[in-house]
Amino acid sequence: MNTFITAAGVALIGLMLLVLIRAIKGPTVIDRLVAINVIGTKSIVLLLFAGILFGQLEMFVDIALGYGLLNYIVSIAASRYYQHRKSLEPEHSPGGSPVS
Amino acid sequence: MGFLGYILISTGLVFFLGTTIGLLRFPDFYTRMHAAGKGDTLSTVMILLGCICLVSMSWLLALKILLIINFIFIGSPTATHAMMDAGNKAGATPWRKDSK
């Protein structure tokens, strides 16, 4: 069982690194935000895998729960911010017209 | 019970592979959001259910993991909806068939 969990965790880390490519080169800010949200959700699963492998699931479940709440709050707060700014360009861009 | 856990974790990894490919290859912010919102939620729920089936744990621990599943099942689509609304308000142009 531990071998399977380790293999699943390594596969999960590889796929998360592929998602990180989108977070680095995403054209707009919202693309990066989506990629970071996916990575944060998968980190919960990775924390549970670490808890199973270390044999201390009681501790890691609480950490995973806190991490999930924090990830949700970050996503909501950042999306509310960009909803009120009505622009995806940086602050010092000339004009500030909404360009994708 | 353990067999069901292996099947659930493997299926969740397949769904996350679909999420990653969609997030990397779709042409538009809205379509990327479509891939990320659905596949991420479903794969996380499946992998966590697989963890419950695979590992022998106490009832309180299983209840905590079910709490994480419940939170993700409600919170992740809400965060996706908020980010979609932020992108729409900020003026991200949708992809069309004749654009580039």
Interval B34-77: pLDDT, tens: 988 899 999 999 999 999 998 887 889 999 999 999 999 999 99
Q: CB–CB of B22/B36 below 8 Å?
A: yes
Tell me the domain boundaries of chain A: 2-85
Q: Write out pLDDT tens, residues B3-20.
A: 899 999 999 999 999 999
Are the C-beta atoms of A49 and A26 separated by less than 8 Å? no
Task: Decide if B98 is inside a domain.
Answer: no
Spatial distance between the Cα atoms of B95 and B33, rounded to a whole number of angstroms: 13
Average pLDDT value for chain B: 89
Residue A9, pLDDT > 60, answer yes
Q: Which residues of B touch A45 (CB under 8 A)?
A: 44, 47-48
**Does A61 sit within 8 Å of B68, measured CB to CB?**
yes
Percent over 90 (pLDDT), chain A: 57
Please write the tens of the pLDDT for every residue from A50-94. 999 998 888 999 999 999 999 999 999 988 888 887 666 666 555
Q: Is the residue at B97 inside a domain?
A: no
Between A and B, how many CB-CB pairs are < 8 A?
144
Per-residue pLDDT at A24 exceeds 80: yes
Instruction: Over range B69-92, report the average pLDDT.
Output: 88
DSSP A2-62: HHHHHHHHHHHHHHHHHHHHHHHH-SSHHHHHHHHHHHHHHHHHHHHHHHHHHT-HHHHHH
Chain B nearest CA to A83, separation (Å): 4
Residues from chain A that touch B91, judged by Cβ atoms under 8 A, are: 86-88, 98-100
R_g (Cα) of chain B, nearest Å: 17
Residue A1: band (very low, low, confident or very high) from pLDDT cuts 50, 70, 90: confident
Residue A96 has pLDDT above 80, yes or no: no
CB atoms closer than 10 angstroms to residue A2? 9
Q: Determine the pLDDT at residue A89.
A: 67
* pLDDT at A97 (0 to 100): 52
Q: Please indicate whether, in this complex, the C-beta atoms of A38 and B17 are within 8 angstroms of each other.
A: no
CA–CA distances in Å: residue A16 to residues A43, B66, B88, B90: 9, 23, 26, 27
pLDDT at B88: 86
Q: How many domains does chain B have?
A: 1
Which tokens sit at A33?
Answer: 């935000």
Q: Which residue in B21, B13, B47, B20 sits closest to A10, CA to CA? A: B13
Q: Determine the straight-line distance between the first and last CA of chain A, rounded to whole angstroms.
A: 47
**pLDDT at B100 > cutoff 70:** no
Contact B61 A58 (CB under 8 A): yes
What's the domain range around B50?
A: 2-89
Q: Which residue of B has its CA nearest to A55?
A: B55
| pLDDT above 70 coverage of chain A, percent | 85
How much is the pLDDT for B66? 93
